[in-house]
Amino acid sequence: MAQSQPGLSTQFVASTLVPGWQRIDNPALLCHQVAAAFLKAGGRLARAHARPLVPESTGLTVALQGGQTLQARRVVVAAGAWSHHLAQTLGDRVPLETERGYNTTLPPGAFDLRRQLTFSGHGFVVSPIVGGVRVGGAVELGGLRAPPNFARAQTLLDKAQRLLPGLKTEGGTRWMGFRPSLPDSLPVLGAATGDDRVLYAFGHGHLGLTQSAATAELVADWADGRRSAINLQPFRAQRF
């Protein structure tokens, strides 16, 4: 164990190695590359706050904050922790809650981290991230409006230092994010109740990145009029 990952506390007597474990050490770069591919394929990117979705005979109107509107033949609602607000404007009440998570990204040299370490009994992970070290985890049911409670991030950092005695905790950047989660731990995938021109694709909880590619394939099948690769009935918003 010490050969695989030096610097662990002597309290550890055993660990589990998962050789096929995959991770991404630069999530931001992945997003930029996907966006670049989208633009190259002819897509356009725009940032705005979407309000209601308004079905009309010729298509759908997306009302934006500030009074502007967008017109579309079909719409995919994939707005993460904010998705249920848009779904509600079409009559679908989805009991989505945000499992807020916290992390601290420490600068390069904070620790000789050879691989991602998951401390399942303590509810956090320590991961290599763009040359630095990220300590993150926690679940806080705090909604979208409450201010971050960074004491939670500090608690994770303190635990990590006890389990990795050589960890340097200075100079870190703290962050809080929203996990869009449903009571049954399944995402919402499928057409809106009142309009099959709207597809829901949200609510992946802790597995957003893991399930993103498969979800994108399902969305592409819907957009192109192909039969879905799986039965989406168990994932529809109407299950609630």
**What does pTM read for this prediction?**
0.91
Last residue of a domain, one of 166, 181, 196: 181
Identify the CATH number of the domain in which residue 197 sits: 3.50.50.60
CATH number of residue 123's parent domain: 3.30.9.10
Residues 80 and 116 in one domain: no
- The DSSP secondary-structure symbol of 127 reads E
Q: Into how many domains does the chain fold?
A: 2
Q: Evaluate whether 85 touches 72 at the Cβ level (below 8 Å).
A: no
Q: CA nearest 158: which of 175, 135, 139?
A: 135
Q: What is the CB-side half-sphere exposure of residue 173 using CA atoms within 13 A?
A: 6
How far apart (Å, rounded) are the C-alpha atoms in residues 106 and 50? 35
Distance CA 85, CA 5 (A): 45
Same domain, 105 and 175: yes
* Whether residue 52 is found in the same domain as residue 168: no
Same domain, 126 and 232: no
Q: What are the pLDDT digits (tens) for 111-162?
A: 999 999 999 989 999 999 987 999 999 999 999 999 999 999 999 999 999 9
Q: State which of 181, 202, 217 marks the end of a domain.
A: 181
- Domain residue limits at 211: 46-96+183-239
Q: What is the pLDDT of residues 34-82, one digit of tens each?
A: 999 999 999 999 999 999 999 999 999 999 999 999 999 999 999 999 9
Nearest to 136 by CA among 102, 160, 100: 102
Q: Which two tokens stand for residue 181?
A: 């989660």
How high is the mean pLDDT of the chain?
95
